[in-house]
Structure 1
Amino acid sequence: MNIIDELEWRGAINQQTDAEGLRKLVEEEEISLYCGVDPTGDSMHIGHLIPFMMMKRFQLAGHHPVILIGGATGTIGDPSGRQTERQLQTMEQVQQNVDALTAQMQKLFGFAAGSNNVKMVNNHDWIHKINIVEFLRDYGKHFSINNMLAKDIVSSRLDSGISFTEFSYQILQSLDFHHLFKNEGVRLQIGGSDQWGNITSGIDLIRRKEGPEAKVFGLTIPLLLKSDGTKFGKTAGGAIWLDGKKTTPFEFFQFWMNTDDRDVIRYLKFFTFLTKDRIDELEVKVQTEPHKREAQRTLAEEMTKFVHGEQALKQALKITEALFSGDVRGLTADEIEDGFKHMPTFLASKDTKNIVDWLVELGIEPSKRQAREDITNGAISMNGEKVTDVNEVVSIENSFDGKFIIIRKGKKNYSLVKLED
């Protein structure tokens, strides 16, 4: 299947500058293409991941991705999607972010495995060499203020205001495309739907400087919305990060597991590398056996393995199974910290106490009478084992590594008790 046909089947194409021209080009030769990300933070989130999944598909089809980290443009900030000026970061912070994003990209695109059909660049390497006179003479003269004002990324900011710094962003991104065309043979730029104006500006610059016959193309990815109309990737707890310290692999896995039935097949097409036959099979399962959530589990497994690796997936599955079964005895303290991060948490001393008094003092049970009733009825479990004796004592010996005790009330109500000195 032609890579463009595959992207269309997956619903991954929003706009193209020359659809037929690009289709013909990728059929005739292996091309270099690029997508960029600015280091405005020290981790990407799953929204950033969307265009890079397309880059990965081109890589697997034999093409040559060039991944751009915006060490220069990141010091300015893209005005797209914002109504206020971005807070500028120090150069030291930008460099720290560059290093962090570089490590994430290396993991996603298999640099460590010796892949030689992908390259990473930093636009600071060429932009910092250009002085202000060269910038104005060699690049600024090719941009019409009228055209720049008409771009959505700028026009949307005119009422609230936009500085010259952010206004100039599209020139710098266009400069990137031109540099990569000249020096890396890049023919295609990929970006989110909000990058259409920047991409077309880059194509215009290349043709002005290199001649109208220059064969360069642009392709954007559609804005991904959930079936309820809300933005994909946002939760009550905030963004879903690719950094395992910000969003643990278990949390990452659970995010995908909680995908709505109405969205799961679209996400499987968008985010996984499963075949059409396999996705069609899962689509039938969603319709006939939705309670089994096989499509969601497959999506969660594929994405967790892709972003965090096989070992992290195994750990996420282990925590998931422990929570589902109630048998948490095999978990480590670190796995408990990951799996119970957002569950009700209580602080307790390491002193030995009667379990009835202990549950009431913490607030897990509303009264001693209710605590005794729940214990007698077998509704209380401590660290995966039912407690049926109201005279049971709680001590540090009951804890995981002297740090945690897990209380389960009924089948689903977990509480994490952190022990303090």
Structure 2
Amino acid sequence: TKADGSKFGKTESGNVWLDPEKTSPYEFYQFWLNVSDEDAAKYIKIFTLLPKDEIDKLVVKHQEEPHLRLLQKELAKDITCRVHSLEAYNSAVEASQILFGKGTTEMLKNMDEKTLLSVFKGVPQTEVSRDEFDAGIGILDFISAKAGAFKSNGEARRMLKDNAVSINKAKIKESFELTSDSLLNDKYVLVQKGKKNYFLVKVV
């Protein structure tokens, strides 16, 4: 059991599996990254192959600066690399950066569909027909009516003027035009309102 009394290996969405088909490397990495300080100190001794003196140093550093979450980061790195691969770990870190602020359009475009959907699980998702998309949708209509990011075009226009709207992690203006180049994995567009509000539109 974990420090909060709940069962180990369980998340809100179910079990954590070693099989990447059941739990993506990103979700696996996030599971370890989000454990409590108390559990991280316990798990790093059980589940990693780090030497005792290295673990002891990490625990001391973590206690000095708990906000940096050094134990969780080392725990997540070690286990993700061994269960999956260094490449999977690096992809998971990049994916986390995309969701939590530092990601770039290039990172997003390099992400495979499965990771993309893992990262943005829980984000509001809508669909637009490919015929409609190809015919051309104005950006105000797209981010308001289609993505559902705004209640009105007026609100969307104000946020665009405030430089608070992004498509695929790139800030846009009202003059922005959607094209096939705007599609991630040839079918998705990520709309971001402000810093933390995401909306995923699937072109079907």
Give TM-score, length-normalised by structure 1: 0.44
Structural mapping, 1:285-364, within 5 Å: 285-324=61-100, 325-330=102-107, 331-334=110-113, 335-350=115-130, 351=133, 352-362=136-146, 363-364=148-149
**Structure 1 residue 370: Cα displacement:** 1.5
Structural mapping, 1:41-190, within 5 Å: none
The letter of the residue matching 1:318 is E
> Is 1:248 matched up with 2:28?
no
The total of aligned residue pairs comes to 195
Pick the aligned partner of 1:279 from 44, 49, 55.
55
**Structure 1 residue 313: Cα displacement:** 1.5
How far apart, CA to CA, are the structure 2 residues paired with 1:267 and 1:275?
14
- Whether the 8 Å CA contact 1:282–1:295 is kept in 2: the answer is yes
**Structure 1 residue 286: Cα displacement:** 2.3
Pick the aligned partner of 1:409 from 189, 193, 197.
193
Q: Deviations over 1:126-174 (max 9, x none)?
A: xxxxxxxxxxxxxxxxxxxxxxxxxxxxxxxxxxxxxxxxxxxxxxxxx
Structural mapping, 1:206-221, within 5 Å: none
- Whether the 8 Å CA contact 1:344–1:414 is kept in 2: the answer is yes
**Structure 1 residue 411: Cα displacement:** 1.7
2:190 partner SS: strand
How far apart, CA to CA, are the structure 1 residues paired with 2:62 and 2:45?
14
Q: 2:162 maps to what in 1? A: 377
Q: 2:179 maps to what in 1? A: 395
How far apart, CA to CA, are the structure 1 residues paired with 2:76 and 2:191?
27
Structure number with greater CO (CA < 8 Å, separation at least 6) is 2
The letter of the residue matching 2:103 is G
How far apart, CA to CA, are the structure 1 residues paired with 2:38 and 2:196?
25
2:2 partner SS: coil
**Structure 1 residue 311: Cα displacement:** 2.2
Q: Which runs of 5+ in 1 are unaligned?
A: 1-224
Indicate the percent of aligned positions where both proteins have the same amino acid: 38
How far apart, CA to CA, are the structure 2 residues paired with 1:354 and 1:232?
48
Q: Deviations over 1:301-349 (max 9, x none)?
A: 1111121122222221222233331313232343423422343322123
Pick the aligned partner of 1:367 from 152, 156, 159.
152
**Structure 1 residue 300: Cα displacement:** 0.5
**Structure 1 residue 274: Cα displacement:** 0.9
Q: Which runs of 5+ in 2 are unaligned?
A: none
- Whether the 8 Å CA contact 2:139–2:177 is kept in 1: the answer is yes
- Whether the 8 Å CA contact 2:95–2:103 is kept in 1: the answer is no
How far apart, CA to CA, are the structure 2 residues paired with 1:256 and 1:344?
25
How far apart, CA to CA, are the structure 2 residues paired with 1:397 and 1:328?
12
**Structure 1 residue 275: Cα displacement:** 1.3
**Structure 1 residue 295: Cα displacement:** 1.0
- Whether the 8 Å CA contact 1:353–1:395 is kept in 2: the answer is no
The letter of the residue matching 1:264 is A
